[in-house]
Each structure stands twice: as C-alpha cells, then as structure tokens.
Amino acid sequence: MANIEYSEQEQIRRESLAKLRELGIDPYPAALYPVNETTKNITENYDPEKGNFADVCIAGRIMSRRIMGAASFGELQDETGRIQIYVKRDEICPGEDKTMYNTVWKKLLDIGDVVGIKGYAFITQTGQLSIHAKELTLLSKSLRVLPIVKEVDGVVHDAFTDPEMRYRQRYVDLIVNPQVKDTFIKRAKIISTMREYFNEAGCLEVETPILQSIPGGATARPFITHHNALDIPLYLRIANELYLKRLIVGGFSGVYEFAKDFRNEGMDKTHNPEFTCMEIYVAYKDYIWMMEFVEKMLAKVSMAVNGTTMVKIGENEVDFGGEYRRLPILDAIKEYAGVDVSGMDEAELRATCKKLNVEVEPSMGKGKLIDAIFGEYAEKNLIQPTFIIDYPVEMSPLTKRHRNNPALTERFELFVCGKELANAYSELNDPIDQLERFEEQARLKSKGDDEAMFIDFDFVRALEYGMPPTSGLGMGIDRLTMFMTGQTAIQDVLFFPQMRPEKIVKDSKPEE
C-alpha cells in the first residue's frame, strides 16, 4: 500500500478533523448553504447610515485570525475578495454550551478552512468594515497548510511565487494569489468578445472532430492513439481547418470554432502541447478582407479587455488600433537579412542558409528553408502588429495562388512582438491544385519531414463538389491572451499547463 507524507502541522489538522467528528460536527456537510452576498458587493455598497446588509450570509476561506479571549477577528476570502469578520463567543454560542467558540473556533479551525457566516455588516471602532457573526458553520475542513503571504515592513515573506509550484498547484495559486484570477477573467472576456463579433458578422459557431483519421490542416507532428472497436489508429487534431472548409462546401456562409488542438512537439514559454485555437472561414471573401476584419476585431477585443487599444507587452507599447503594416515575406527577408531569396531553388537556399548561419535539416524543402531565414532574421523585429503577406507556394499547401504572381500565395501571418499571432489565407479551392500540393507534402514526408501533411482524399473530394471563394483565419487564443494581459509565459494563461509528472506518493516497503 502507498502512503503520502504529511508535515507535522498537517498531521495536527487530521487530528482536529477527528475531534470535530467526535463532537458530532460534519467537516464536509452536504446540505445547501444559503449564500446571499459577496464580499465585494458588501465592501462597495455598505452604507452605515442606511444600515443595509443587516442580514447577510457569506461563505469563503479563513485567511487570518486574531483570537482575543471571548472575541476574535478573522478575515474571510470568497471569489470576489476579502472582508473582516468579528466572532464573539456569546453571539455564536448564546446558551451555556460554548463549544463552538472555545473548542471549534479557537482550537479546531485553521487558516484555509471554508466556513459560512451569518450576521450583519458594521464598522468597528477602528473604522474597519466587518461582518458581525451571529452564526458560524464549518463547510469544509482544510487538511493542507496554505503558503500564506506575509508582509513585514514592506517585505513579502512566504509568497507562493515559484512558477513550477504555481502551475502544478493552480488551486493553491488562485487561493493565495487572487490577482491571478484577473488573467483568466480577461481570457474569458477575450473569447466572449470575439464570439460576439463573429456572431454579429453572421457566422455560426460549430464543433468538429477532435479524434481524426487523418491529422490535417497544418504542418505539425500529431499525437497518435488507437481505437479498439474499429482497430484503427486515430490522431488528436492538429487543426480543425479541413472540417470547417467542408462546411463551407456544404453551404454555410461563415463558420468558426474555438478548438482544442494538440501537437506532439516541443514545450517552452510560448508553446504547450494542448492549446486553444480559433479558426473562422467566410465564403466570398479573400485575405485582404480578412486583414481588415482582424484589425477591427483586435481593436474591439483590446478595448473590451483593457479599455484601450494600447497594450504594454514586456518593454513594448503595442497599439492594436488602426491599420497594421503589410509586408511581403520576401521583402521582409530582404529588409532584415539583407538577401533576396526570390527565385532561388532549394540548393541556392541551402547555400544562403549556410552563409547566414541558419541551422537547417536535410529533410527541409524550399518552404521550410525560406521560413528558417525569416524566423532567424525578421520575426524578432516585428514588434507592432504586422501582416507578413504573400508567401511562396512551397510554404502554403492550403492557400490559393496569388492573383498576380502564381509563385506566391494569398496568405498572411500576423506578428506581434516577434511572435506569430494569426495565420490566414485566401483558401485554395482548386481540387486539382490541392491534390498536387498534398502529393508534394507526401514527398517531403518520405524524405523524413514528420510534420508534412497527409493526403486527405476526402477533403479533395469535397473540393471537387465546389467550394466558393473563401477566406480563413486561425488565431491562437493562448498567445492572444498573453498579449492582452501582459504575460510572458503561456503557462500563465492556462489554468493547468502540461508539466512533467510529479512524484507525490512514496511507496511503502512491503511488510517483512
């Protein structure tokens, strides 16, 4: 049998738990608790002259206590904030039995316990808004010791600041660092604002499969699983693009999805193997229209979340309002790397990469070689929102050829602070051209490129029925949230980022 190691303080809490049960007090009651107020509402709206909040019922965690004989003060934290509570022995124990105060409140309850308080709001002699407790109820006994933040002479002690601990134990992070909630509230606001914007534009929110027989829509390494009943391999989706475009073929004029995607690749401060991507496809539009659509959307999101289009990201002031710069990718390479790669074949590109000290792999084709040069020299310079446009065909297997130059495609990527935020196309709707590009991807896969696309014959068949001219966009919600909240690590905008397994159980030795 396995056992978990507990500290001395945590062992004492377990002893308190047992004593509570001996007293007939259920430390985890199932009954409904009639909460009727929040600490924030009381704090913002209490008026001593009106005598309002005369019958309140609140619940939350005990975050501090100051016991002074027959009367005590504490601090209660709920979802909206904190408020002081005043607990007087003869008020919560009006009869002869003072067990609830003398034993339960003073000895058996701890910081972190969830309690309910019924009473009324008042101002103490020192001017502190408080809740005078008339009734105290234990709702959940905490068996772990919270890493309470203490401040002495302006110096913070015992703060729960270690990033790994915060990500592993987000539940503790949210308790002791309540400001963290603001990031996730803003994340929800970002999504709801985008959803409202899309709905107003006449688009329909849909759902598409997460388990796919062919992982299409992007160049990425997928996660593979196995379906027992069908006895086939399945893949966690790397993108939802091809299914959404099937819906455009089927007659929808605009569809979008906030999708969980999965890519079996590296992890760092800007990449998590599970991430949220929004993709939207609108019929009878092109990538030029989509650029304007994105500009207006991001300005709207920024205003909704921050009240301004100016956002502080690291050391940079970024303006999401107005018209963004439009820069062809080959011009960007010429501007920042000092070389003109247009018209180069694969051998010339490899030689250029070597000259520029850009690391490449033997499996890389023309598209990835150009992308490697761009990534090394141009990306870091794109601080203000910039549309990088008109990618070579080799870099864009799902994109319509440029109307003025068949060697290029009608594609843009939006960069902010040196990072890609969005990817968009005038979608390829020529089924013959699409099949040829899939076949080129297959050749790259045979050379060892495990991120190259599979051939999706059903998608080609869908295009053969006719897809109208369409513009599509994919945008990373996690990265957008990082930008809009000023966070520098993707782990800070995910409630539960992927981590290496933690060993929290110590195996017991078998009895001899």
- Which two structure tokens, joined as six digits, stand for 421? 């935020």
Provide the pLDDT confidence category of residue 512 given band limits of 50, 70 and 90: very low
* Partners of 280 in the β-ladder: 256, 473
7-146 and 180-324+384-493 share one CATH topology? no
Q: Is the pLDDT of residue 181 over 80?
A: yes
Which of these, 332, 334, 298, lies nearest to 476 by C-alpha position? Answer: 298
DSSP code for 508: P
State the Cα–Cα distance between residues 46 and 52, nearest whole angstrom: 6
Fold of the CATH domain 180-324+384-493: BirA Bifunctional Protein; domain 2 (3.30.930)
Q: What is the mean pLDDT of residues 104-128?
A: 96
State the Cα–Cα distance between residues 244 and 195, nearest whole angstrom: 16
Say if CB 217 and CB 238 are below 8 A apart.
yes
Q: Where are the domains of the chain?
A: 7-146, 180-324+384-493
**Residues 335-356: tens digit of each pLDDT:** 999 999 998 999 999 999 999 9
What per-residue confidence (pLDDT) applies to 160?
84
Provide the pLDDT confidence category of residue 216 given band limits of 50, 70 and 90: confident
Domain 7-146 -> CATH class: mainly beta
Which of these, 476, 467, 459, lies nearest to 243 by C-alpha position? Answer: 459
Q: To the nearest whole number, what is the mean pLDDT of the chain?
A: 93
Say if CB 121 and CB 53 are below 8 A apart.
yes
Q: Is the pLDDT of residue 505 over 90?
A: no
pTM of the predicted model, to two decimals? 0.90
State the Cα–Cα distance between residues 354 and 366, nearest whole angstrom: 14
Of 15-19, 88-92, 499-503, the one with minimum mean pLDDT is 499-503
Q: Is the pLDDT of residue 105 over 80?
A: yes
Provide the pLDDT confidence category of residue 503 given band limits of 50, 70 and 90: confident
- Which two structure tokens, joined as six digits, stand for 426? 């005038």
Residue 202 backbone class (left: φ over 0; alpha: ψ -120 to 50; beta: rest):
left
State the Cα–Cα distance between residues 469 and 215, nearest whole angstrom: 24
**Residues 257-307: tens digit of each pLDDT:** 999 999 999 889 889 999 999 999 999 999 999 999 999 999 999 999 999
What per-residue confidence (pLDDT) applies to 150?
66
Written as one string, the DSSP assignment of 239-267 is --HHHHHHHHHTT-SEEEEEEEEE--S--
State the Cα–Cα distance between residues 430 and 468, nearest whole angstrom: 10
